[in-house]
Amino acid sequence: MQVGLRKPNAIVKDLTPLASKGIEVIKGDVEAIDPQQKTVRVNGQELQADYIVVSLGAQLAPEEVPGLQEAGHNLYSLEGATAIRDARTSFTSGRMVVIVARMPFKCPAAPYEAAMLLEHDLKKRNVRQNVCVALYSPEPGPMGVAGPEVSAGVRGIVEGQGIEYFPKHQLPSVDGATVTLKFADDTEAHFDFLVYIAPHIAPPVVREAGLTGESGWVTVDRHTMATPFPGVYAIGDVTGIPLAMGLPLPKAGVFAHGEGIAVAQTIASEITGRGEASTFEGEGQCFIEIGGGKAGFGKGNFYAEPTPVIKLHQPSRFRH
């Protein structure tokens, strides 16, 4: 998307066909959730439910890092991705930086993919020799939740593309006037072209409903996805699921998908009296696109103890 390989209409789905399956789609802003009474208010209309599945995702909050929003492009918004696509064509020399502002963030591979796709784009435009590409993150290493071997493997792939990688860099603020990143350890870094992954927060309506725990995300049973409120479930990026290793389950679409299937089967079983309740067991996979028509692939069980068991397959054209 950010390098022009895909257009916005290629990632948009029409919800109209859902009506043919007997699903009523109400478009609007979710203004309030009452998990005790099982009601949801949308555009002033109160909806009464027997079951609620909260799937409101993570809200991007670039304003939480002073100067960030004005200084760069938001990789995780459609507007930001198209802005990167358009602005990159006139960038031919200087320092291009991709930065993760805060943990946690959704799609653990995305910042690394973005850096490598942008790096490959520079090669295609024959200006790579004039540009330094760097990636900063507060993580100790890329995709650390997948274990030290996978993390080291991903770092090797990134640095193998000639991308400078700086882990353990917390970002309190950005000075747009001097195009400088100011880190918590009092170090600074210059940039000429900035791509950022904004801080993520649970949507205010979820926090106001009393659904979030100490982590700031919705607390659920990691297998059933049930919240402490009977008949109320939560799936996807809005949840916070701690793993045995001390890190949370990554926020990624593959997990939202698996969680959604499990919850749907459980609710259907309770309503119809047929079939059995289902559970989510922590299985997931992720492609890692590196540019040049190649991609790596990681797959495994994130609920495995004491640490997730993930296998990383090296980049190839086949996996792309």
Condensed to tens digits (0 to 9), the pLDDT of residues 172-216 reads 999 999 999 999 999 999 999 999 999 999 999 999 999 999 999
Q: What's the whole-model pTM score?
A: 0.93
- Residue from 265, 289, 288, 259 nearest 277 by CA: 265
Q: What is the CA radius of gyration of the chain?
A: 21
Parse the chain into domains and list their residue ranges.
8-56+201-272, 60-200+283-316
Query: Distance (Å, rounded) from C-alpha 314 to C-alpha 320?
Result: 11
What is the rounded average pLDDT of the residues 90-106? 97
Segment 265-280 shows an average pLDDT of: 96
Cα separation values, 319 from 143, 238, 280, 292, Å:
19, 30, 26, 12
Q: Render pLDDT for 2-23 as a digit per residue (tens, 0 to 9).
A: 788 888 888 888 999 999 999 9
User: How large is the average pLDDT for residues 303-315?
Assistant: 93
CATH architecture, domain 60-200+283-316:
3-Layer(bba) Sandwich (3.50)
pLDDT of residue 8: 86
Residues 5-37: b if buried by 16+ CB within 10 A, e if exposed = eeeeeeeeeeeeeeeeeeeeeeeeebeebbbee
Is 60-200+283-316 in the same CATH topology as 8-56+201-272?
A: yes
List Cβ neighbours of 272 (8 Å cut-off, separation of 6 or more): none
> What does pLDDT average to over the chain?
95
State how far the Cα of 150 lies from the Cα of 300, in Å rounded to an integer.
11
For domain 8-56+201-272, the CATH superfamily is: FAD/NAD(P)-binding domain (3.50.50.60)
**Residue 39 predicted with pLDDT over 70:** yes
Contacts with 124 (C-beta within 8 Å, 6 or more apart), sequence order: none
